[in-house]
Amino acid sequence: MKRKQLFTAGKSLGLVLFLSLILAFAKQGKDRGSRDTFAKIKPSKETMIAKQKDTATFAAGCFWCVESQFLQLEGVKKVVSGYTGGSVPDPTYKQVCTGTTGHAEACNIIYDASVISFDELLEAFFVAHDPTQLNRQGNDRGTQYRSAIFYRNGKQKEKAEYYIKKLNEERVYDQPIVTEVSPLTVFYRAEDYHQDYYNQNKSEPYCQYVIQPKLKKFKKVFKDKLKH
C-alpha cells in the first residue's frame, strides 16, 4: 500500500488545527493508503463550551458503510441514515436509487462535542471513503453516492473547506478532492430497515464483502478512539 503523510499546522477560525499523520485511503481500483494514529486536534473555545450533543451530516457512498464506521467512535451517540441534498420531498430508497432525485445517501452523526470534535469527525470522514471519486464509491455509482459535507453553520462550512484545501495542497491523495460542501436543507430519515443495517445484517453478502473490509481498516486506523 502507498502511504502518504500530511503534517500541517494551520490557523483557521481562531483555531490552530494540528493535522498530523493523516494517511488517506486514496483508492484507484484498490486501497492505497492507511494511517496509524488519530490526529491530535486542539479544540476551539467554541467546541469546549458547546452543548453536549451536536450533529454532523456526511455523505460518503453507501450509508450502510458510513453508519457502521462512525458508530465505532467514542463520543458518537447515534447515527441516522437518510437522504438529503435533492429536490424531491420525502423520497423513498427506490426513488433515490434512480439517481434522479438529487439526494445523496447521507448520515446524521449525533455526537458529544466534549468527547469528539467536529474536526475529528472530518478527519474520520476523509479516511472512511475516497473523496476523489466523483459520484461513486467502488462499484456503487450514481450521484446518490457522491462525497459531500452538508454543513449546519458557518463554522462547519469553513472547517470543511479548510480541510479540503490543506489536503489538496499537501497532495495527500493522487487526485483532487471532489467532495461537495453544501448547506444542509432538509434531511429525510431513511426507511427503518436501513437503520443500524450492518449490525442487523452481518451475514448479507454486501456486509461481508464490502462493509466488513472497510470497517476493519477504519477500526485499525482509529484504534485509540474506539468505543470500549
Q: Are strands 180-183 and 147-151 parallel, antiparallel or unpaired?
A: parallel
Task: Output the nine-digit C-alpha cell for 155.
Answer: 463554522
Distance CA 54, CA 82 (A): 17
Task: Output the nine-digit C-alpha cell for 125.
Answer: 470522514
**Active site amino acids:** 62
Distance CA 97, CA 141 (A): 10
> Residue 89: which residues within 8 A CB-CB, separation 6 or more?
186, 188
